[in-house]
Amino acid sequence: MIDLDLRIILVAILSAAATAAVPALVGGGIAALGALAAILIARSVVSSDEGSVTLAIVVGGLMALATVSHGHVDTWGVGASVFVGAELAALGRRLAVDPEAPALPEVRITLSTITIGLAAGAFVALVSLWRATPPLANVTLVVLVLVGGAAFAVRYLHHPTD
Amino acid sequence: MALIAPRRDRRAVGYAGLAIGFAILALLRGEPSDLALAAPFAVVVALGLRQVRPIEVSGKIHFETVSSFEGDEVRGTIELIRPAGLVATMSVDNRPGWTAVDPGPALVWTLPPGGSKVVAHFTVRAESWGRHRLGAVNVSFRRPYGLTVWESSNDNSPSFNVLPTPEHVRQLLPPPASQSAAGVHISRLVGEGFDFAELRPYVAGDRLRDVNWRASARFEQLQTNRRHPDRSGELVLLLDTFVDGVGTASATSQAALARAARAAWSIAQLHLNVQDRVGLATQGRVVTQLRPRSGDRARYELLQTLLTVGGMVTAGESAVSRHRLNRLPAGALLIAFTPLLDQRFAIDLLALHRAGRPVMAVVVELVDLLPPTTNQAEALARRIFQLGIDEWREDLVSAGVPLARWTGDADLTGVLGALNRLHRTVRVSR
């Protein structure tokens, strides 16, 4: 448990609200999953527990999968909720390490990351709705996955981490 | 210079899992729009894992002052050389003996990414005497948009000395056997000095200034004063380092030891200033013996030993062992400082006393150091604890060991005065 100050509590509430907001609008079982993910996200900030973050992201992923049947917009909204909530939680954990550190640079980094991530998602969504056909998308995906996997493998083979 | 390997942020695993999972979902469903779910996570992972190489870091801790007194503030700096562009979070683990003042209540800094060399200033308050070190310095580096963290911990900081605050003491204790070096204690011998010893009839060769004119008038015969020569004494301070617990000593135990050390150091300084020979013996968790010496070298050795003992006990770095106290110099006055937390020290004192060694005991009171009791069970336990101390103290008194009780805020002069009187009484009664 860390020493809580006002800004940590505020960030914990914000991250939980961001995670649960769209699932709550969708309603039903999705809202329940959203509440669970929000609790896990807030817990990761308050207790500075990194393990809760992974679990919250996994729950968020399952929630997005469960929303697929509700249509594109709901699914994108739920995915964006999980993403924003996880980034805000990461901000909270960073601020909790040093209560005296200025918060503004960290807030700026987090907002930039959220903006870049959401912009990428919006761009892909727009392209997919406008021009993409399933065969083209599948080929692109396979290529991207192969290239990405190869890049990771090369990097981690050269510089193995933990 | 240390090479630090990175580790992944926990988000990296979750984000990569979701990016891959949603991509597979899009493949399976043949829905390109599902890729929009993967995109935010994939972008952050790609941005965050672009730098996963080990980094080189070096650091240095510097104290402005190496020695200070209890309660003083000690300033210092931590210099860190790291690759530019990394945000660093640095923290120092708390250790007994000091508390963080600036930054407070813990030594933690967040250092912005600009520049490769950064200097963090800190101020700590020296709480207890001894040789202390800062705790382990933990450093964590990350890039502003990174999902990798470089973490390192180093527990090899330099030490700083905290000297015990000298108590206000004026009373010199009389060592039982005087030495040949000149000092301020009165010898039992008669010779050149300042203190009157006896009158005797004038003999040829006596100095005129030694003639006591009043006595000569009374006896109708010339009488001369004879004086005691001034001689130095030999003193061994016996410090009880038995503490409660098997690991780190409790705060109360540490405070009692610090109190005893302060008293010991004050008395040592006083006697060293008048050319007495002062030694030190500790018995308990830390065992050490310093032969009685005089002069600046003795002062330095004594202080170094006290600091080492204090630091070791505070850090819980020693083990209980016994030492043969009968090797202490035979003619030296032994002044023991003890809170009587452990019966073994009282037994040692009794053994010394029965062996004919001149022993005095200053029992350091703990009552004001103990936290207040919160319930009846604690109050009962406290009474039993106090009864144990009282019993050992009574054993010493009934055996004839001159003993005085001392609380930290009381004047040490009064305690030593009482010991002085007791010492004389015991010697007369033999």
- Exposed / middle / buried, residue B154 (Cβ in 10 Å: 0-12, 13-18, 19+): middle
Do B242 and B360 fall into the same domain? yes
Do B213 and B250 fall into the same domain? no
Do B68 and B203 fall into the same domain? no
Residue B212: which domain range? 195-228
The single-letter DSSP state of residue B189 is: S
Residue B179 forms part of a structural domain? no
Nearest CA-CA partner of B90 in B119, B131, B129, B51: B119
Do B403 and B358 fall into the same domain? yes
Do B213 and B352 fall into the same domain? no
Q: Digits of tens for pLDDT over chain B (430 positions)?
A: 678 888 888 788 889 899 989 888 888 887 878 888 898 999 898 888 777 788 888 888 888 877 788 788 889 999 988 888 888 888 898 887 888 998 878 888 888 887 788 888 999 998 877 788 888 898 888 888 888 888 888 888 888 888 777 665 555 555 555 444 444 555 555 556 566 778 889 988 888 888 999 999 999 889 998 876 555 678 899 998 887 766 667 777 877 888 888 888 888 888 888 778 899 998 888 888 888 888 888 888 888 888 888 878 777 776 555 567 777 888 788 899 998 888 888 998 999 988 888 888 998 888 777 888 888 888 898 889 889 889 989 999 999 888 888 877 777 777 777 777 666 655 433 3
Do B3 and B143 fall into the same domain? yes
Q: Say how many domains are in chain B.
A: 3
Specify the pairing of strand B359-364 against strand B403-406: parallel
Contact A116 B44 (CB under 8 A): yes
Identify the domain boundary among B212, B228, B244.
Answer: B228
- Residues in chain B with CB shorter than 8 Å from the CB of A124 are 32, 35-36, 38-39
Is B293 strand, coil or helix? Answer: strand
Do B207 and B260 fall into the same domain? no
Query: Out of A50, A75, A87, whose CB is closest to B37?
Result: A75
Query: Out of B10, B40, B46, whose CB is closest to A50?
Result: B10
Tokens standing for residue B91? 């923290």
Query: Mutate which of B13, B31, B37, B109 to test chain A, going by most A C-beta atoms within 10 A?
Result: B37
Identify the domain boundary among B144, B160, B176.
Answer: B160
Residue B293 forms part of a structural domain? yes
Contact B14 A132 (CB under 8 A): no
| A128 interfaces chain B, CB cutoff of 8 Å | yes
SS (H, E, C) B197-265: EEEEECCCCCCHHHECHHHHHHHCCCEEEEEECEECEEEEEEEEECCCCCCCCCHHHHHHHHHHHHHHH
| A57 interfaces chain B, CB cutoff of 8 Å | yes
Residue B97 forms part of a structural domain? yes
Do B279 and B409 fall into the same domain? yes
Do B100 and B64 fall into the same domain? yes
> Residues, chain B, total?
430
- Residues in chain B with CB shorter than 8 Å from the CB of A134 are 30-32
Identify the domain boundary among B228, B249, B279.
Answer: B228
CATH of the domain at B335: 3.40.50
CATH of the domain at B32: 2.60.40.10
Q: What is the pTM of this model?
A: 0.63
Contact A141 B40 (CB under 8 A): no
Would you say B307 and B162 are in contact if contact means Cβ atoms under 8 Å apart?
Answer: yes
Do B87 and B205 fall into the same domain? no
Specify the pairing of strand B107-111 against strand B87-92: antiparallel
Query: Out of B7, B36, B148, whose CB is closest to A125?
Result: B36
Do B423 and B362 fall into the same domain? yes
| pLDDT tens digits along A117-155 | 999 899 888 887 776 666 766 676 677 777 777 777 766
Q: Could you say which residues from 3 to 32 on chain A have a Cβ atom under 8 Å away from some Cβ of chain B?
A: none
- Cis amide linkage into residue B54, ω under 30° from 0: no
Query: Mutate which of A15, A73, A83, A139 to test chain B, going by most B C-beta atoms within 10 A?
Result: A83
- Residues in chain A with CB shorter than 8 Å from the CB of B25 are 65, 68
Distance, in angstroms, between A89 CA and closest chain B CA? 10
Contact B41 A117 (CB under 8 A): yes
Tokens standing for residue B70? 């209890």
Residue B175 forms part of a structural domain? no
Do B298 and B381 fall into the same domain? yes
